[in-house]
Every structure is written in C-alpha cells, then in structure tokens.
Amino acid sequence: MGYQESLIHIKPQRMFKTMIEAYAQAEKSGYYNCANVEPLSVITLKQQMFGYPPGTKLLWVCGDRSFHSEGGVFGQRICGNPFKPYSMTFIPAENLFSPEDEKLKGIDFDANVPSENAYVKRHSATNYAYLMQKRDAQTR
C-alpha cells in the first residue's frame, strides 16, 4: 500500500491522554523502529471543522495504511478493559485536507516546536507526550 497518512479521533476525548501514553510507551520500547506506521503529530482544532468542535485533538499517523489500526499504531490495545470505554476512528488525511489546504498553511510538520494558524495547532507527538508527562509530574 505504501506510505500514507491518517488522523485518529478518539471518543471520548478524555481518552486522548491514554492514547498519548500508549504512544510514549511504544516509542520508549522501540516499537516504531520496526513498525510500519508512526504517530508524528498532535493536531488540536481551533475552530469547528469536519463535524468536530474546537479543542478536539487528533493524532496524525504516517506509514503503511494497512497498519492504521489500534494494534498497528500502538502495538497493543490502549486500554486493557475488554469492554472498550472508547472508540477510535481512523480518517485518511486526504479526506480532511488537500495538499494546498488553507487550514494547513504555516503548519510545520517537520519541526519539534509547535506551529499554529487560525485553524489548527500542531505539536510533534514526541514533544506533546513529553509536555504531558512534565505537566503530570508537576501536579503530583
């Protein structure tokens, strides 16, 4: 299938933190050194888009689309409960954005620092996970 991109929407959104924790665990274990898909960006919507309200967080993943599944992206289910308290939707990036889309103007997908415009804010997945862990450590 080749290299492709998707965005993951998790519902309820309070589970986004759990999803990022699963990403950080997979990253730390070296899973992405051999996986055919990797989360690269966290996108936070700043306006209502695609039927999602402002503040919605999406995880942007890149790689072979045949691995765009919960097990393919994280190497595991993100929640051990067999009665999943969440649902994940994988949305092909081209269904939401075109290459020259105004909604992505000024967004730097290669940078470790956040970038934003009037529509979205983008963090690297690694940076977002680090900031989340740092915030959690400070609140303990």
Closest CA to 61 of 69, 53, 50: 69
Determine whether 138 is exposed, middle or buried from the number of CB atoms within 10 Å of its CB (0-12, 13-18, 19+): exposed
Judge if pTM exceeds 0.85. Answer: yes
Q: What does the pLDDT look like over 78-126, one tens digit per residue?
A: 766 656 688 899 999 999 998 789 999 999 999 999 999 999 999 999 9
**pLDDT beyond 50 at 1:** no
| Structural domain for 112, as ranges | 3-139
pLDDT digits (tens, 9 = 90+) for 28-70: 999 998 888 889 999 999 999 999 999 999 999 998 888 898 8
Q: How far is CA 2 from CA 37, 73, 128, in A?
A: 10, 15, 27
Domains: count for the chain: 1
Average of per-residue pLDDT across 69-79: 83
Q: What pLDDT, on a 0 to 100 scale, did the predictor assign at position 15?
A: 92
Nearest to 73 by CA among 81, 86, 82, 63: 63
